[in-house]
Amino acid sequence: MALTICTGFVVDDAIVVIENISRHIEAGIKPYDAGDERRHARVGFTVLSMSTSLVAVFIPILMMGGIVGRLFREFAVVLRVWPSASHLFVSLTYTPMMCARFLRHESGSTTSSTGFRNAFNRFLGIYDILFEVGVLRHQFLILLVTIGTVCLNGYLFYKTPKGLLHRSRITRAHQWQHHWRRRSFFRRHVAKDAHLTDIVAQDPAVKT
């Protein structure tokens, strides 16, 4: 799951750098010069700030204790290490190199770009019609649906069982522990452990 989230981080950072390089190429700069790190220094600071904020967000997960903290420790470590690797080795090094190799300045519109633009414009026109007919003409109804959705989420949050394990999977569990004095012998520990085990086993609620 952490690797899947990190893949989105890599793509997000790379898109920011590619957009900046494409802007320089459309302005007439050669692809090799557009991929120069000096031309996307401001974008590099943006990518660095995004990576730093992501690391800071997932620090509380790494600091969690108990069973939940143990379950999500690897998840938090991966999400802390990967953004820095994405910033250093992908967004600001590998992505500009590939852009300098494959991106080219196009003087006119190609057949593929024209077809994609026409298809997108048709989709945008359909969306405008549906938005005007379904939302703008029924604003009060949409407001009621929004309020009802918020109330339903609150009700479900209150009624849904919460916890690491569902209560239906837990029968009757008891936890007990005992402490020994310092400088006590191991044989006494074993004997007392056996005695305590016998006491607990005599309880009819204990399933052996």
Residue 76 lies in a domain: yes
Residue at which a domain ends, from 49, 84, 106 = 106
Confirm whether 15 is domain-assigned.
Answer: yes
Q: Which residue, 79, 106, 133, sits at the end of a domain?
A: 106
Residue 134 lies in a domain: no
Q: Give Cα separations from 157 to 5, 130, 150, 154, 163 (angstroms).
A: 25, 32, 11, 5, 12
Residue 121 lies in a domain: no
pLDDT > 90 in the chain, percent: 12
Kindly state whether residue 207 falls inside one of the protein's structural domains.
Answer: no
User: For the residues 138-162, what does the mean pLDDT come to?
Assistant: 91
Q: Please give the average per-residue pLDDT across 55-75, as a whole number.
A: 81
CATH of the domain at 9: 1.20.1640.10
Residue 138 domain-assigned (yes or no): no
- CA angle centred on 83, ends 77 and 86, rounded to 5°: 130
Indicate the number of domains in the chain: 2
For 155, 179, 180, 186, 193, the CA distances from 183, given in Å and listed in that order, are 56, 12, 9, 9, 17
Whether 71 is covered by a domain: the verdict is yes
What's residue 152's pLDDT? 96
Q: Model's pTM, two decimal places?
A: 0.53
HSE of 98 in the Cβ direction (CA atoms, 13 Å)? Answer: 11
Task: Give the residue numbers spanning the domain of 194.
Answer: 171-201
Residue that is last in its domain, among 63, 84, 106 = 106
pLDDT interval class at 25 (50, 70, 90): confident
Alpha helices by DSSP H, listed for 66-202, are 66-71, 73-86, 94-102, 111-134, 139-159, 186-201
Average pLDDT, stretch 94-100? 83
